[in-house]
Amino acid sequence: MAGAVNPRRRYHSPLRVEQTEQTRRRILSAARQLFTERGFTATTVAAVAGAAGVSPDTIYVSLGGKRGLLEGVLEMAISGPGDPSAMREQRLREELGQLSDPRQRLREWVRYSCQVLARTSPVHAVIRGAADSDAFAAELRRRLLQRRLEGQTAIVRAYLDGALRPGLSIEEAGERFCALSSPELYHLLVAELGWPPGRHETWLTQLLEAELLSP
């Protein structure tokens, strides 16, 4: 009986994967610069492709066009350089669980949130600028707000429950956290009024302690 035909093994090249990721990051870096300079509406896929040194087809295949570029730019800003945001956040959650003082837990989470805001604020400004005329940008903004609200409420529930001000529910505390740590307020204070990021972090920490925690 003839032996079974071996299926062709897929070729996996770590170098090729690394080159693909470098190309993707180059595309997203070019898109971020153009979105920031020109706005979402005025930026074309062709312009991003030219700035990144790739073909427009490469962007459509890898990121799905201009909408994929905008979402990719935001996710890259959230992740930051070198260390995926999910890994950093997981480590932070583990560290928060080891702290007995709810005020210290809040301070550490505010510090992390401000680091993310510093990277993502310009991208959020692009999304807000496009939201009035572009349905996708408006929907993306709504999704991001819901994502932040759910995330901040989960943090309050996990690490501040039992330490909240009397009469303040977890849901209300999550809403206050979401509003006061919003990219809109960060942009107003840091980008428009010229606050140093450190001043914003100190102000936000003190304000959230007063708003959320029992005296």
pLDDT tens string 71-80: 999 998 988 6
Mean pLDDT of 130-157: 95
Mean pLDDT of 14-18: 71
Domain positions in the chain: 14-76, 81-212
pLDDT averaged over every residue in the chain: 89
Q: Do domains 14-76 and 81-212 have the same CATH topology?
A: no
Cα separation, 187 vs 180, whole angstroms: 12
Q: What pLDDT, on a 0 to 100 scale, did the predictor assign at position 201?
A: 97
pLDDT at 6 over 80: no
Q: What pLDDT, on a 0 to 100 scale, did the predictor assign at position 87?
A: 74
Distances (CA, A) of 189 to 71, 106, 144, 185: 25, 21, 20, 6
Architecture of the domain whose range is 81-212 = Orthogonal Bundle (1.10)
Q: What pLDDT, on a 0 to 100 scale, did the predictor assign at position 2?
A: 47
Higher pLDDT among residues 152 and 10, named by residue: 152
Cα separation, 173 vs 208, whole angstroms: 9
Contact 31, 45 (CB under 8 A): no
Lowest-pLDDT range of 24-28, 95-99, 156-160: 95-99
Cα separation, 159 vs 103, whole angstroms: 10
Q: Amino acid letter at 165?
A: R
Q: What one-character-per-residue DSSP string does 87-112 give? A: HHHHHHHHHHHT---HHHHHHHHHHH
pLDDT at 3 over 60: no
What confidence tens digit (pLDDT) does each residue in 78-104 have? 886 655 666 777 788 888 888 899 999
For 14-76, CATH number? 1.10.10.60
In the chain, % of residues over pLDDT 90: 74
Q: Token pair 């303040």 is at which residue? A: 168
What confidence tens digit (pLDDT) does each residue in 161-183 have? 999 999 999 999 999 999 999 99
* Number of C-beta neighbours around residue 95 at 10 A: 12
Q: Token pair 């990051």 is at which residue? A: 25
Q: Give me Rg for the CA atoms of the chain.
A: 21
pLDDT at 59 over 70: yes
In the chain, % of residues over pLDDT 70: 89
User: On the CB side of 21, how many CA atoms lie within 13 Å of its CA?
Assistant: 9
